[in-house]
Structure 1
Amino acid sequence: MDINATKPVVLLFAGQGNPVIGMGSDLWDTSAETRRIWDCASDISGLNIRRLCAKGPMTRLVQTPVQQIAVTAINTMLFTLYRESHGDVAFSGACGHSVGEYSALYAAGAITLEDLFRVIHFRSTLMHDLSLANKGSMLVVKGSDRAGLTELLAQKGIEAEISCDNSRKQQVIGGTLTALRNAGQAVAGAVLESIKPGVSGAWHTRLMNSGVQPMRDFLADIDIRPPQFDVLMNVTGLPVTNPEIIRENLSLHLTHAVQWTASMEHFLDKPTPVQFAEISNKAYLIHLLNDFAKFTPEMAVHCKTDGTVSGVK
């Protein structure tokens, strides 16, 4: 399936949660630009990202400081190749899931490559430190919308939070290890499917509270410009152009739920049908779109599996 140039193209950037050994290995030597991105990610983070992605170990790759840098490097490389392959396509919007939000801002010209990795390195290290101080976890729950799962948790007196409102049929909850254990039992009792994602903390919950101000302080020195096209922010599910509001939303993102359902409905409710292009190592966000009534399969492509990124399969 080729991208439909007659429709507005909306970019979707993946976040963390599904790391695999070997991810990004098909991008290392694709071009001088992809090599520059790998080098920039490694130089700023002080990590050998290429080796960690290629060989792991998984116990290391799943750690937030590694995984967020790796995912961001892969997203930006794939976007670069995608843009080169589709030079005549005008982007009308973008949205990134969790840490993928930063890739969306980069794609829209709101932040430079170097500052992108500086922020991700700071953010991921901060989140990792907070996860060690406030032990928590996350759980993907299938078969429930936000209201239904919130009610179930309240009925059981479980102090877990909705971390990601992914669709009308999928939620992610986060909280302390005890809260997540109790939530898993409640979810199983309600005959709902659950999966533990490959993350090492309770992101987008109150356990990250003490990281909001340090994030504000760091972002104050980062040059953020108005995006060249709409970037829907996770905290609100709405586009923002004011750099100061973008900074504040990125800071609050540590403790606020990802409003993915609202973001996708924003695009799907537009009078002119859009074409979604998922920019990620492996298709995931396209599958979530299947939970939306107004979505049809021909409305989305993945940058790798449909061959739209030249030389990458």
Structure 2
Amino acid sequence: MTNPVLAFVFPGQGSQQIGMLAEAAEAFPEISATFSQASSVLGYDLWDLCQNGAQEDINLTERTQPLLLTASVALYRAWQAQGGVTPARMAGHSLGEWSALVCAGVLQFEDAVRLVRERGRLMQEAVPAGEGAMAAVIGLDDQAVEDACASAAEGGVVTAVNYNSPGQVVIAGGAAAVARAIDACKAAGAKRALPLPVSAPFHTELMRPAAEKLAPQIEATVFRAPEIPVIHNVHAKPEADPSAIKALMVEQIYSPVRWTACVQAMAEAGTAQLVECGPGKVLAGLAKRIDRSLTAHNIETPAQMSEAVKSTAQ
């Protein structure tokens, strides 16, 4: 059964923590089964890594991406097993868009694990460590951030890359240009402009070589029309054609994440309730800043899962 006012959203990098989903794994067999499936593709024990590894190990991009994909898909499978209703639409933040596509039936989970591991590796390789940077800007409108980046570029690359909520934008590019843009944003009146602990400038033109290398692998993978509409990061619209979805997932690597527009599009389509399907509460928090009428749920723990299943039942 589909709930017409329910949307699922899937988090991206930054939500990973050592020990995540431990409580859920005790309650839901789908967690360990999904992690085992991913481990067989990756060639290492992903569950052991995220329970017993070091934070710096799971922060390596080529490990973070399959880890978060697996966590989100595992929770969605647990949701289904608990009798949770089917959402009317989905969206994922950056890497989370791959989780949405798997849960919407666009591609097989194992294929997605392979692709996002490679996506992470290529994105990290595209810019040598230390040469790229990202920073969060709080308290400026989008245009002011864009203007600050334009004035700070000085022939380098620095652009707005994550439009996360009104007044919260992430910028990225070359390290020196980002440092200049941080100063420019502060001068323009930003409440805060602070570097993020990320070494690669994701969603900038500097990622285009990674996209071009990943494109043939995406093209060779079977994609199907989505069973549930997915709102895409690149243009904040759904797409039904598998070939067009493949092109969007290549473009997404070097294009801004228009998250504010994605959430607004879901609200305009009738969404009143969101479930954040993955570790952490980042997207639930952003949703309330974007549209206060939205009710957001998390399902990371058995108690949260039970409450969300009941609250969204038709």
Whole-angstrom distance in 2 between the partners of 1:29 and 1:198 = 32
Amino acid at match of 1:204: H
Aligned-residue offset at 1:148: 1.8
| SS of aligned partner of 2:281 | coil
- Map residues 1-313 of structure 1 onto 2, 5 A cutoff: 7-87=4-84, 89-132=85-128, 135-157=131-153, 159-189=157-187, 190-270=189-269, 272-292=270-290, 294-296=291-293, 299-304=295-300, 307-310=303-306
Distance of aligned partners of 1:210 and 1:30 in 2 relative to their CA distance in 1, 3 Å threshold: same
Distance of aligned partners of 1:56 and 1:6 in 2 relative to their CA distance in 1, 3 Å threshold: closer
Measured against aligned partners, the alpha-carbon deviations of 1:108-144 in whole angstroms (never above 9, x if no partner) come to: 1111111111111121111122133783121121112
The answer to whether the Cα contact below 8 Å between 1:174 and 1:202 also exists between their aligned partners in 2 is yes
Which protein is richer in helix relative to its size? Answer: 2
How many residue pairs get aligned? The number is: 304
Distance of aligned partners of 1:55 and 1:195 in 2 relative to their CA distance in 1, 3 Å threshold: farther
Amino acid at match of 1:209: R
Whole-angstrom distance in 2 between the partners of 1:47 and 1:254 = 26
| SS of aligned partner of 2:216 | helix
| SS of aligned partner of 2:64 | helix
| SS of aligned partner of 1:229 | coil
Amino acid at match of 1:113: F
Q: Report which stretch shifted further, 260-269 or 15-24.
A: 15-24
Amino acid at match of 1:64: T
The answer to whether the Cα contact below 8 Å between 1:134 and 1:207 also exists between their aligned partners in 2 is no
Gaps of 5+ in 2: 309-314
The answer to whether the Cα contact below 8 Å between 1:216 and 1:251 also exists between their aligned partners in 2 is yes
Q: Report which stretch shifted further, 52-61 or 103-112.
A: 52-61
Aligned-residue offset at 1:229: 1.4
Whole-angstrom distance in 2 between the partners of 1:116 and 1:6 = 26
Whole-angstrom distance in 2 between the partners of 1:174 and 1:197 = 10
| SS of aligned partner of 2:23 | coil
The answer to whether the Cα contact below 8 Å between 2:27 and 2:302 also exists between their aligned partners in 1 is no
Measured against aligned partners, the alpha-carbon deviations of 1:168-204 in whole angstroms (never above 9, x if no partner) come to: 2111111111112222222333343134444331110
* RMSD of aligned alpha carbons: 2.3
Whole-angstrom distance in 2 between the partners of 1:273 and 1:124 = 31
Distance of aligned partners of 1:206 and 1:301 in 2 relative to their CA distance in 1, 3 Å threshold: same
Aligned-residue offset at 1:28: 3.9
Amino acid at match of 2:164: N
Amino acid at match of 2:165: S
| SS of aligned partner of 1:39 | helix
Whole-angstrom distance in 2 between the partners of 1:26 and 1:153 = 43
Aligned-residue offset at 1:31: 4.0
Gaps of 5+ in 1: none
Distance of aligned partners of 1:218 and 1:134 in 2 relative to their CA distance in 1, 3 Å threshold: farther
Amino acid at match of 2:6: V
